[in-house]
Amino acid sequence: MKQAKIRLFVEQPLGAGQTVLLDRDQANYLFNVMRLSVGDLVALFNGRDGEFVGEVAEAGKRKGALVCREQTKPLQLPPDLWLCFAPIKKARTDFIVEKATEMGAAVIQPMQTEFTNSERIRRDRLQAHAVEAAEQCGGTYVPEVRDLTRLDRLLADWPEDRQIMFCDEALVGATETLGQAGGEKWAIFIGPEGGFSEPERAKLREIGHAVSLGPRILRADTAAVAALTVWQQHLGDWG
């Protein structure tokens, strides 16, 4: 039997026998770029119904259709974890979104801190990156990329039942307390190059759990992956 080598995120509901109509970009990708034709298989997921094998039923230049066969993976939701980070240079911001998806964040929240240079992001572009990363990493879920929000506003509206882990460059050790913190809802805060400002740090220390990422200064994108690893090991689904 042929195997589906391509994974495709779609918006439509999935289920055995369900027809999935492709839009122009998807048809172009599958039939022009990847050269699939009728009868070929594609792995489909929509973030809600798990993964299904879809068989190409119609392969046009600008449109096409797949028919779902059996489910190949159940839906696997990531832990209820937000990654809040300050956007940096474009390539590294893209990278953070990709890594957050692979590492199993549920929500990606760009935030503007005092020392954030970037004042705008292209939310739709970052969301597309998250989709692509989910297609690549075999996940059945795509994290939601939210609009850029100021850190002070984010904290002013902060949900009481969501705990915060943040990375404090001034700290050594102290990750031990994390495992005892427990709780289901979490957010990781990663500062910009240059770190959080003193008032921001004071606020985060007051309401969050500080952890150390070692004696060297990490770039924001490295810190994101390292912090996600620490969290997943202590509190997440790597157990």
188 vs 164: CA distance, rounded Å:
6
Residues of the chain by 3-state class (helix, strand, coil), percent to 5: 30, 25, 45
Q: What angle do CA 60, 139, 80 make, to 5 degrees?
A: 130
How many C-beta neighbours within 10 Å does residue 29 have? 15
Smallest distance, a second copy to C-beta of residue 213, A: 7
What part of residues 14-73 is at the interface with a second copy (CB under 8 A)?
none
Site pattern 70..89 for a second copy (x: CB under 8 A): ------x-------------
Which region, judged by CB under 8 A, interacts with a second copy, from 22-30, 36-44, 96-104, 145-153? 96-104
- CB nearer a second copy, residue 22 or residue 190: 190
In the region spanning residues 118 to 157, those forming contacts with a second copy, defined by CB under 8 A, are 136-139
Stretch that binds a second copy, among 19-27, 57-65, 143-151, 207-215 (CB under 8 A): 207-215
The CA distance from 239 to 233, in Å, is 6
The pairing of beta strand 186-190 with beta strand 81-85 = parallel
Answer yes or no whether residue 204 interacts with a second copy by CB under 8 A: no
Applying CB under 8 A, what is the total number of residues that bind a second copy? Answer: 34
Instruction: Give the total residue count for the chain.
Output: 239
Comparison of 28 and 222: residue with beta carbon closer to a second copy: 222
For 42-85, the DSSP string reads: EEEE-SSS-EEEEEEEEE-SS-EEEEEEEEEE---PPPSEEEEE
Residue 226 as a binder of a second copy (CB under 8 A): the answer is: yes
In whole angstroms, the minimum distance from the beta carbon of 131 to a second copy comes to: 15
User: 9 is written with which tokens?
Assistant: 């995120």
Distance between CA atoms of residues 61 and 101, nearest Å: 31
- Kindly write out the interface string for residues 158-197 of this chain, putting x where it contacts a second copy by CB under 8 A and - elsewhere: --------------xx-x----------------------
Least separation, in Å, of the C-beta of 182 and a second copy? 19
Q: C-beta of 228: minimal distance to a second copy in Å?
A: 8
Question: Cβ of 174: how many Cβ atoms within 10 Å?
Answer: 12
Binding footprint of a second copy on the chain (CB under 8 A): 76, 95, 98-99, 102-104, 136-139, 172-173, 175, 212-219, 222, 225-226, 228-230, 232-233, 236-239
